Amino acid sequence: MKLARMMVVALAATAFLFAQEAAAPAAAPAKAEKAAKKGAEKKIVGTVVSVDAIANTIIVKAKKGEDTVSVEAGAKIISGKKDITLGDIKADESVTITFKTADGKKVATHISVAAAAKAGKKKADKAAAAEPAAAPAAAPAAAPAAEPAAAPAAK
C-alpha cells in the first residue's frame, strides 16, 4: 500500500515537472517578442543641427549629445498637423524623431517638428511675465566681504 502511494506521488510530481517545462518555453518567446517590440522603436527629442535632404540624414542635438539619423524613404514628417518634407526642416527647430536601429544605424520612421512660432511666443511671454515681477523689488547691495586675517610673517 505504501509503495502504491509513493508511486502515485512520484508520477504526479513527474507530470507536474513536465507540465512546467512545457509551459516555460512558450512563455519565453512571448516575453522576448514584447521586449523586441518595445526596443524596436525609440525616440530622440532635441534641436536640429543640420539636415541633408540629398543624403536623407538629420543631425539632432539631444541631452546625450549629437545624433545622426538616416531618414527612410517612407518616413512620415509633420509640422503640427501639416505634412512636410525633410528639406523643409531648418536648423534650430525642435524635433521628436521616432527611429529604429538597423545594422547599427538609427533610421527615422517618423519626424515631428514643433511649431516654432508657438515656442518662440511662449518664451517671450515667460520673459515678459518674469521681468515686471523682478523690477519693483530692488535688492539691497551686498555688504563687502571682510578681509581675511593676515598670515603671521615667517622668521
CATH number at residue 112: 2.40.50.320
**Residue 15 belongs to some domain of the structure:** no
At residue 69, φ and ψ (nearest 5 deg) are -125, 130
**Residue 142 belongs to some domain of the structure:** no
Which segment of 10-19, 103-112, 126-135 scores lowest on mean pLDDT? 126-135
Q: 89: which 3 cell numbers?
A: 526642416
**Residue 110 belongs to some domain of the structure:** yes
Q: Could you give the number of structural domains in the chain?
A: 1
Residue 120, pLDDT > 80, answer no
**Residue 109 belongs to some domain of the structure:** yes
pTM given for the model: 0.51
Question: Mean pLDDT throughout 29-41?
Answer: 57
**Residue 125 belongs to some domain of the structure:** no
**Residue 81 belongs to some domain of the structure:** yes
At residue 53, φ and ψ (nearest 5 deg) are -70, -25
Question: Mean pLDDT throughout 4-15?
Answer: 75
Question: Mean pLDDT throughout 134-139?
Answer: 51
Q: Please give the distance of CA 47 from its chain centroid, rounded to a whole number.
A: 13
**Residue 124 belongs to some domain of the structure:** no
- Asked if 94 and 47 touch (Cβ cutoff 8 Å), the reply is yes
Q: Which helix (H) or strand (E) holds 95?
A: strand 94-102
Q: What pLDDT score does 119 carry?
A: 45
Q: Place 6 in a pLDDT band, splitting at 50, 70 and 90.
A: confident
The mean pLDDT of the chain is 76
Residue 65, pLDDT > 50, answer yes
Dist. CA 23–CA 142, nearest whole Å: 73
- Asked if 48 and 92 touch (Cβ cutoff 8 Å), the reply is yes
Range of the domain at 75: 40-117
**Residue 3 belongs to some domain of the structure:** no
